[in-house]
Amino acid sequence: MADASGPDDLFSVRVQAAPFDAAAESAALCAGRTDIGAVVSFTGLCRADAGADGAPLAALVLEHYPGMAEEEMGRHLDEARRRWPLQGARIIHRYGRIIPGEPIVLVLAASAHRGAAFAAAEFLMDWLKTGAPFWKREERADGGDWVAAKIADDDAAARWGEK
């Protein structure tokens, strides 16, 4: 490939503690490209839900399985590329302590046309929710607890077929 950015840059996964800039990531993915007609960007944010007793959320603390997290999301990217004609895609997932309003996860999917970009971004998020090894713990003034997995997330992942 003659392009100075190699295929590794076009399809990438990052796991990091630091916040990210979704707009800058999207611009970097599309920089110098004239073959991309659509880029879908999804950002998941830390939401300040009140607990069962009304105690506000101070932060989410995300634990992950280093190594497997990157590998598993890389496999999700590979599967997305098998299913849709993508020109590029990027997943960034944070770990550590994240306060309400801050970003947690970014999925970018770029294609010639919007259909593939929308579908791939949604697919990547659905598989990531149930397959990427991350666990959220809620931090509240009165302590906190691990977030329970949602059946709705399993259903969302299942509609894309077998892993």
Partner 1 sequence: MKVLYFAWLRERVGVTQEEVTPPADVITVADLARWLARQDDAHAHAFEKPEVVRAAIDRRHVKPDALIAGAREIAFFPPMTGG
Between residues 114 and 163, which has the closer beta carbon with respect to partner 1? 163
Question: How many other CB atoms are there within 10 angstroms of residue 2's CB atom?
Answer: 3
Q: Does residue 92 bind partner 1 (CB under 8 A)?
A: no
Query: Can you give the length of the chain in residues?
Result: 163
| Alpha-carbon distance values, 14 to 30, 73, 87, 93, 150 (Å) | 17, 9, 18, 6, 25
Is the separation of the CB atoms in 87 and 36 below 8 Å? yes
CA–CA gap between residue 159 and residue 140 (Å, rounded): 34
Q: Shortest gap between Cβ of 149 and partner 1 (angstroms)?
A: 3
Query: What string marks each residue from 72 to 91 as x (binds partner 1 by CB under 8 A) or -?
Result: x-------------------
First to last CA, the chain: 30
Q: Which of 35, 71, 78, 155 binds partner 1 (CB under 8 A)?
A: 71
CB of 48 to partner 1, least distance (A): 17
Stretch that binds partner 1, among 19-27, 32-40, 57-65, 78-86 (CB under 8 A): 57-65
Interface positions, 121-160, toward partner 1 (CB under 8 A): 125, 128-137, 146-149, 153
Q: Which residues contact partner 1 by CB under 8 A? A: 44, 62-65, 67-68, 71-72, 93, 104-105, 125, 128-137, 146-149, 153, 163
